[in-house]
A = this chain, B = another copy of it.
Amino acid sequence: MPSRPASDLTSHLGYWLRHVSNHVSHAFARKLESRDVTVAEWVVMRELYGADALAPSRLADKLRLTRGAISKLAERLIAKGLVMRASHASDGRAHILALTTKGRGLIPKLAALADQNDAEFFDHLTSQERSTVERVLKEIVKIRGLKSIPVD
Contacts and interface: CB of A to CB of B under 8 A. Distances in A.
Copies of this chain, whole number: 2
Given A18-B25, A111-B9, A152-B18, A3 B119 contact: yes
A97 B18 CA distance: 24
A69 interface: no
Given A123-B3, A133-B132, A18 B24 contact: yes
B1 A126 contact: yes
A7 B111 CA distance: 8
11 contacts: A1-B126, A9-B46, A14-B114, A16-B134, A16-B137, A17-B137, A18-B151, A19-B150, A124-B143, A129-B132, A133-B133
